Amino acid sequence: MHDSEIYGKRNLKILHIPPTTIKLVGQGIPFSGGAYFRMIPGGFIHRWLKKVNCEEKKPVVFYLHPREIDINQPRMKLKWRDYMIHYYGIRHCKDKLEMVLKSSQFQTIKEMIEVAKKEEEWK
């Protein structure tokens, strides 16, 4: 948790909930949201979820934008790299998300915040 000055308010408590990463070859690689979630095969996502939860004893934060499961969304003309970031894997994203949701127990960010509020750092 951080103390910050935002919009002129002092001592505002901010809970920073970063995207989850997995350590591979010494680097933290995101896997649980956005283009990373869509591009990485479901088997890896499942394995890394279990590794972070069970071995590292940390929660995994998953996030998706609604457009990432909308196969009928209008497509913009983009450069190849940007096209891949925005659209690659959308066709199977919903199935992958359902597989992940069935494989573990989850809670909302709001529920995570309620737990954090009970901890010493919020007092």
* 43 or 15, which is more confident: 43
Q: Which residue is listed with tokens 């499961």?
A: 69
Structure confidence by residue, pLDDT tens digits, 61-84: 999 999 999 999 999 999 999 999
Chain-wide mean pLDDT for the chain? 85
Q: Which domain holds residue 69?
A: 19-109
Structure confidence by residue, pLDDT tens digits, 90-119: 999 999 999 999 988 888 888 877 877 776
Phi, psi of 79 (to 5 degrees): -60, 155
Structure confidence by residue, pLDDT tens digits, 53-63: 888 888 899 99
How far from the centroid of its chain's Cα atoms is residue 95's Cα?
16
Structurally, how many domains does the chain consist of? 1
Torsion of CA 61, 65, 69, 73, to 10 degrees: -170
Q: Which residue is listed with tokens 């915040």?
A: 113
User: Is 79 within a domain?
Assistant: yes
> What pLDDT is stored for residue 18 in this prediction?
82
**pTM metric for this prediction:** 0.77
User: Is 119 within a domain?
Assistant: no
Return the closest-CA partner of residue 35 out of 82, 99, 74, 73: 82
